Amino acid sequence: MTDPWLRCFQRRPGALVRLVCFPHAGGNAAFYRPWVALLPPSVELVAVQYPGRLDRLDEPCIRDMPTMVQRITAALVGQWHPALALFGHSMGASVAFEVARRLEDAYGREIVRLFVSGREPPQHQRRSKVDVADDDALWMEVRRLGGTDVQAVDNAALRAAALPAVRGDYQLIDGYRTRPGRPLASPISAMVGDVDTETNATEMAGWAAHTSADFTLRAFPGDHFYLMAQRSAVVEEVRRGLLAVTAVERDLMP
């Protein structure tokens, strides 16, 4: 898999489902690397690498949702076998949702399930309160939300390298407005931390309006980055969600 947008940490030629994971604002594909060991052999994990970070550091960030979605969707169309499922956290949930819509509308391809985490649905979309032009304010927001090692957050060199991607992602999500359209044909599973300051279970329930299929909602103990402390439980929830739509329980058992 050589596409610059996609990172596969462990090839699984016999996989029945390819789980495509979308990072949060300022995040990168490596955030999902620890999931690989927790997934059964029948699920191959692929993480999206946005430009402007790590091995794509020299590439300009994408600051608008339509361009981001078009580029990622084009990369995924060539990866359709095996079946695709999408998981996105925070900003990544919005990107994954729009990618799922484009796959259906432009290519007639349905994913097996969309997992959205820690992000309010489009009808509750809010602009951030952070001044993205202010380096200090933007970095304070990174510290507030967590999800980054404390020593790394306090590293001046890391801050300088990471800020352009964080700023670009915040500009992308602040400018995002979904277009009207029919609900997804694929089911949606929503997840949230029970003390997340960015959204809550009541808001997350609104994702049900965006699918004509099954919808599930689960709250986990934790804040916006609950999925770090609750990694095993979250991956287990994903596995169960895939079981429910693939009808291959024997093959997906760990």
224 has catalytic annotation: yes
Q: What is the C-alpha to C-alpha distance for residues 1 and 7, in angstroms, rounded to an integer? A: 7
Helices (H), ranges, the chain: 65-77, 91-107, 135-145, 150-153, 156-174, 201-204, 226-229, 231-246, 249-252
| Cβ-contact 220, 191 below 8 angstroms | yes
Q: Which of 90, 94, 186, 189 is catalytic?
A: 90
90 has catalytic annotation: yes
Q: What is the C-alpha to C-alpha distance for residues 85 and 251, in angstroms, rounded to an integer? A: 16
Omega cis (within 30) before 82: yes
**156-174 helix and 135-145 helix, angle to the nearest 10 degrees:** 90
Give catalytic residues, as residue numbers: 90, 224
